[in-house]
Amino acid sequence: MKSLRTAVIGCGGIAQTHAEVLSTQATAQVVAYADVKLERAKALAKKYGGNAYGSMEELLDREQVDVVHLCTPHPLHTPMAQLAAEHGIHVFSEKPPAVNEAQWEAFAALENSRVRIGVCFQNRYNVGTQFLKDLLAIGKPGKLLGARAFVTWYRPAEYYTDSDWRGSLSTEGGGVLMNQSVHTLDLLCYFMGRATGVDASLSNHHLQGVIEVEDTFEARVDFDGRPAVFFATTGHVTDSPVLVELVCENATLRVEEPEVTVRWKDGSVEHHSLTVPVSPTTGKSYWGSSHGICIADFYDSILTGKPFRNDIPGIRNTAELLLAAYRSARNGQA
């Protein structure tokens, strides 16, 4: 089996998950790490092997790599993806792919490049998500009529003040929607398709004076006549499991990973406690443990040429809804 030469760009928190996953992948050989704080790159290189660099540019000048993982602050994803594509290197980017419309236009244009572009919406691979997807595919629940989704987590002030980029509009691009709950917005699009309208609002309830971005975001999304309500906050007291509920003609389907409840129209109820596959990293239970499956699927798509579910066309609906929701919330208009 061919092993692709890989580099990790950005060596902060989420890079630890990527590095752990990649260390177990037969299809990946991590040869280098880059971070503006060189000591962080050196720490990962020491732990997993490879060379350390202080910038992506230096790394690309000195290493031959097939794939880069972008684990940098949000506004850097698009320009770094462009740089990698110019070098003929495949890109696996953390979310979000872009923080504004100009970036998204540039990121989306990479669909026409000769390299593969993938985005880490790993929750699409969660067992509960796949269970509902399969159930909908057989048609028994009937037409999907609407949905609701809730993210109630906790982030203290230190989460932002101990970071050199979180909490600032210029370096994070947004708050709870951009950073934490974009995965759940993605699941709504994964199930419902393309949004045709959104009316949203944002606020900062518990970190006023600490962060510039929102800690709470709510929206009503129209999916071509099918409504979905969305609520996300980091002002809760704990990190509760994400709740996604789909209302269909014949059943209501509810997932709080890895638990699934199906309430049929005749009153019968099914409870499914699903088994989470063994993964190189379990992640955090409240946001999913499927990084390993998602990353393995991306590498398989490169080596086999098969489609990747999180490629640019696959995540377009999510990226466009994310940006439209922020436009609505910031402008006060649907």
Other residues' Cβ atoms within 10 Å of the Cβ of residue 29 = 18
The H-or-E segment that residue 67 falls in is: strand 67-70
- For residues 25-47, average pLDDT: 97
Whether residue 232 is predicted with pLDDT greater than 90 in this model: the reply is yes
* Alpha-helical runs (H) found in the chain: 13-22, 38-48, 56-62, 77-86, 101-109, 127-138, 157-161, 169-172, 182-192, 291-304, 312-331
- For residues 90-98, average pLDDT: 98
Q: Convert the pLDDT of each residue in 296-328 to its tens digit.
A: 999 999 999 999 999 999 999 999 999 999 999
C-alpha dihedral, 76 to 77 to 78 to 82, nearest 10°: 100
- Pair 291, 279: CB distance under 8 Å: yes
Q: Which amino acid is at 80?
A: M
Quick one: pLDDT at residue 121?
A: 97
Quick one: pLDDT at residue 281?
A: 55
Delineate the domains of the chain, giving CATH numbers in brackets: 4-122 (3.40.50.720), 123-285+311-331 (3.30.360.10)
Quick one: pLDDT at residue 276?
A: 87
Q: Is the pTM of this model over 0.85?
A: yes
Q: Which amino acid is at 320?
A: E
How far out from the chain centre does Cα 199 lie? 22
Quick one: pLDDT at residue 323?
A: 98
Quick one: pLDDT at residue 285?
A: 60
Retrieve residue 116's tokens. Answer: 């593969």
Quick one: pLDDT at residue 277?
A: 80
Whether residue 272 is predicted with pLDDT greater than 80 in this model: the reply is yes
> Residue 283 — very low, low, confident or very high, per pLDDT cuts 50/70/90?
low
> Residue 279 — very low, low, confident or very high, per pLDDT cuts 50/70/90?
low
> Residue 43 — very low, low, confident or very high, per pLDDT cuts 50/70/90?
very high
Quick one: pLDDT at residue 280?
A: 53
Handedness of CA 96, 100, 104, 106 (dihedral sign): negative
